[in-house]
Structure 1
Amino acid sequence: MGRNLRNALLAFVAPLPSILFYLAFLKHAGSAPVGDGGDGGDGDGGLSPLWSWCLHHPFLLANALFFFNVNVLFWVIGQIQSSHWIIDPYWTVIPVMLTHYYATHPLGQYNWWRSRILMVMTWAWALRLSHNYFRREKWQWGAREDWRFTEMRAQYGKNWWWVSFFAIYVSQQVFLLGVCFPTYVVHSVDKPLNVWDFVAVLVSVSGIVVAYFADTQLHDFVSRNEELKELGKPAVLTLDEGLWHYSRHPNYFGEQLWWWGLVIFAWNLGQGWTMVGALINSLCLAYVTGLVEKRMLKKTHRAEAYRHYQKTTSVWIPWFKASDQSGKDKTT
């Protein structure tokens, strides 16, 4: 209990440096009239060079705050604890923080309704993902780090202390700031709502719903197998029910719907280039999908059943089963 409470407190305190810095910036920027886009001086109402730079470079400021508060501070925490668990819950928190940051920045200009719709959806997405994370971790803070980090720790050995800075934190900056490009665009362009906004909402909300049900079905499957193990009964080898009957990774599919739905917002505002963030994330998730499936095939007791599942079931996009004459029993 003591460790759990300490990690919970640490998680709440960890982002305070960037939050306090940003609040200080807002206080200074709010007391001075916005200039003509110069680099400080009287045009910014006497703002210091630091606050002037923060005022005129909102995206670069977001990157700077991420670098020092997440990359550096979280990495130091990971070194002290010999576990990089803290970045996992913040994958769900940072997009919310970025959305509010872009909405409150003094240079933000946007349609109020589009901003609020995006904000509500981002909170819904974050609550769903946070709930799934803590449910999977049995409501513990920092009980373990991502299994991929643990495998990389073993792979890189004594070099892991510095490799982890780039492999975990710098890469997360690229992914998170990239997929959140549309939230920046939404708060940089003031344009009335149109039908494409509703399409974006439909795709994004569909992603949240699909991911929620997929993760819940996976959680129920894992919990049921744990109960069967305690009773000394054979485990169900493969989850082949619900959404998992039509896709091997419906949770990943739902997550991609969410991010590509946000891209539609940005495309509608004339900034289709922001798809690069979602594209990089999709490519990364494709790689992770391969890692997950290789991990499943390493479990000898279920490898045969999972190969059959691979042959008959779509990878991401839910689809009807492919025919396979060699039906396999799904229990041991």
Structure 2
Amino acid sequence: MGNLTNAVMAFLVPLPSILFYHSFLCQFSALGLACATASVSVHPSPLLWVWTWCAHHPILLANVLFFLNVNVLFWVIGLIQSSHWMIDLYWTVIPVMQVHYYATHPLARYNQWRSAVIVVLTWLWSIRLTHNYLRRERWQWGAREDWRFSDMRQQYGKHWWWVSFFSIYVSQQVFLIGLCLPMYAVHSVEKSWNLVWDSIATVVCTCGIVVAYFADTQLYEFVERNKALKVKQKENFEEGMWRYSRHPNYFGEQLWWWGLALFGWNVGHFWTFIGPLINSLCLSYVTLLVERRMLKQPHRADAYRLYQKTTSVWIPWFKSSPRRNLKDKDT
């Protein structure tokens, strides 16, 4: 029953933003017709001022909707359920909502080909990540929250109820709005498709999606095999992409965001690289946390230390010789 309730809730929570934005588009269309027929009152109503503000501030409107619908609503739900699981799921959904939001906003100006490519790629990225999330959670909705949130819950104790608002939700707003700014950039300029740079951006984004998919699938199958054999994992997974990178899934994810920023750069907005840069720096810290967690497992610590010495962190590269590293360690 809890799984069904969480699933229904997950589908209903974005409705406030969707309904508000749909109402805005309808009212804006009516407002445009009224202006054309000179039937707008000389003294506009407060509601008319709201629609006008929404029409002229697309990025600010996106932040307001995110703050109210995600930060506040998701936070309250998380407090009630004592689990902030929903933000992980919506990491895969919010970019899709943003790309359609920027494409349909009244101020949108864009090249149809570039917009279509980015929309399709964003959907493919979202489907891949959503599938991986639900597969990893065994198709359970809200069964558990991110282990990092659980660790922070223990760390902050009685203060966690208010700390979680800033550490989970406000921080996520900065990341997601910032990372998705290239979607705004490409929908604000009518620049023709660049055969070189737009094609390169498309290839980078596609490679990111493909690399992340295969890396996550290989890891998932390895974990499932261990569970089926009912054995305690003593060695590290060093097959497929994981032989050449300790975090190939992170590498694929970064390729996606940097490729998306390349689209923004191509239309003249170089600042779109700021989001992926900050995200990469934060992912470096997350990588550190993950590896520290691995080293805390006594039965895997030695093997993982050797894995660290012989295998690239993110970018897939040739594996170093274990024997050479062992000799270096002895000397």
TM-score range, shorter chain: over 0.9
CA distance in 1 between partners of 2:266 and 2:325 (Å)? 47
- Matches of residues 251-266 of structure 1 in structure 2 within 5 Å? 251-266=249-264
The reply on whether 1:325 has 2:323 as its aligned counterpart is: yes
Which residue does the alignment assign to 2:204? 203
The reply on whether 1:223 has 2:224 as its aligned counterpart is: yes
Cα pair distance change 1:298/1:41, threshold 3 Å: farther
- CA drift of 1:126 comes to 0.1
- Matches of residues 1-332 of structure 1 in structure 2 within 5 Å? 2-33=1-32, 48-194=48-194, 195-229=196-230, 233=231, 235=233, 237-325=235-323
Letter in 1 for 2:262: I
CA distance in 1 between partners of 2:92 and 2:225 (Å)? 27
CA distance in 1 between partners of 2:45 and 2:68 (Å)? 28
- CA drift of 1:323 comes to 2.3
Q: Secondary structure at the match of 2:262?
A: helix
Q: Secondary structure at the match of 1:48?
A: helix
Cα pair distance change 1:220/1:47, threshold 3 Å: same
- CA drift of 1:327 comes to 8.1
CA distance in 1 between partners of 2:290 and 2:42 (Å)? 57
Task: Tell me if structure 2 keeps the 8 A contact 1:44–1:52.
Answer: no
CA distance in 2 between partners of 1:52 and 1:226 (Å)? 57
- CA drift of 1:33 comes to 2.2
Letter in 1 for 2:126: A
Task: Tell me if structure 1 keeps the 8 A contact 2:17–2:65.
Answer: yes
CA distance in 1 between partners of 2:311 and 2:46 (Å)? 63
- CA drift of 1:82 comes to 0.4
Task: Tell me if structure 2 keeps the 8 A contact 1:28–1:47.
Answer: no
Cα pair distance change 1:188/1:227, threshold 3 Å: same
Aligned residues: 320
- CA drift of 1:274 comes to 1.1
CA distance in 1 between partners of 2:173 and 2:219 (Å)? 28
Q: Secondary structure at the match of 1:238?
A: coil
- CA drift of 1:235 comes to 3.2
Letter in 2 for 1:203: V
Deviation digits for residues 71-122 of structure 1 (CA, Å, limit 9, x no counterpart): 0000000000000001111000000000000001011000011101000000
- CA drift of 1:16 comes to 0.7
TM-score normalised per structure 1: 0.93
CA distance in 2 between partners of 1:42 and 1:187 (Å)? 32
CA distance in 2 between partners of 1:225 and 1:77 (Å)? 35
CA distance in 2 between partners of 1:41 and 1:67 (Å)? 32
Q: Secondary structure at the match of 1:219?
A: helix
Task: Tell me if structure 2 keeps the 8 A contact 1:41–1:48.
Answer: no
Task: Tell me if structure 2 keeps the 8 A contact 1:29–1:47.
Answer: no
Which residue does the alignment assign to 2:329? none
Q: Which stretch has the larger CA shift, 247-256 or 42-51?
A: 42-51
Task: Tell me if structure 1 keeps the 8 A contact 2:3–2:141.
Answer: yes
Q: Which runs of 4+ in 1 moved over 3 A?
A: 40-47, 233-236
CA distance in 1 between partners of 2:43 and 2:108 (Å)? 18
Identity of aligned residues (%): 66
Letter in 2 for 1:20: L
- CA drift of 1:32 comes to 2.0
Task: Tell me if structure 1 keeps the 8 A contact 2:310–2:325.
Answer: no
Unaligned runs of 5+ in 2: 327-331
Q: What value does the CA root-mean-square deviation take over the aligned residues? A: 1.9
- CA drift of 1:324 comes to 2.8
- CA drift of 1:157 comes to 0.2
